[in-house]
Amino acid sequence: MGRLSGKRAIVTGAGSGIGRASAILFAQEGAKVVAVDRVEDAVDETAAMIRELGGAVTSVAADAGDEIAVKGTIDHCIKQFGGVDVVYANAGISGGWVPMQDQTPDYWAEILRINLIGPFMMIKHVSPHMIKQGAGSIICTASVAGLRANAGGFPYSASKAGVISLVQTTANAFYGTGVRVNAICPGLIETGMTKPIFDGARAKGSIGKVGQLNPLNRNGEPSEIAHMALFLASDDASYVNGQAIAVDGGLSSTHPFTGKQRS
């Protein structure tokens, strides 16, 4: 018996990185998984990997920031697997490091649409099903950038701070329903989104310095975030609610800062 045996789970951003690692781990632990990503080939590859391991999975190519697509994903899970017990709203974009004076409202709007409004819409549409059954776990990917400065660009950091507030406020909105809402705040993890950072460090011969600002002196791996998601999805976390849990090697335990010249 796996830790998610009998549960039906949706994982967004499942085409790579943290989402892929989580979808695979959830399936290995017994969940029936709906893997979602806007890149069809990538999410189909994730589904194929799960099937090779003997897991139950269906893949959906969808934009996590589109309300019709979000609702359709939930309906698909219910149709395929008879319900939904776990949602991991993980999909997100960084937007990169763009000087403030070069940022536009449209630039901000797109990052907020996917990173913050997307999780809101997932919570909005899945919560009635979970409330009806009296239980459910909703997990969102926030970031250490949502906790303190200097870990991400302006709109990215603001969006992730919004995710933290979103899980706190919705956890309380679901008072007495049995539905739990939590966030994971990853530190520096090597994923498709952070690839430019790692590629740049390798090109400069400074890859050994990546992650040096946290006490473990290294970057994290997608599987390390996936294991936290597994905990929050499982009944082991039955009394964990409304929390934003940092998985960052200890980065957020202090205030490391590297001086920068004003641009």
DSSP string, the chain: --TTTT-EEEEESTTSHHHHHHHHHHHHTT-EEEEEES-HHHHHHHHHHHHHTT-EEEEEE--TT-HHHHHHHHHHHHHHHS---EEEE----------GGG--HHHHHHHHIIIIIHHHHHHHHHHHHHHHHT-EEEEEE--GGGTSSSSS-HHHHHHHHHHHHHHHHHHHHTTTSSEEEEEEEE-SB-SSTTHHHHHHHHHHT-GGGTTTTSTT-S-B-HHHHHHHHHHHHSGGGTT--S-EEEESTTGGGS---------
Establish whether 239 is a catalytic residue.
no
| Of 107, 156, 175, 239, catalytic | 156
Residues marked active site are found at 156
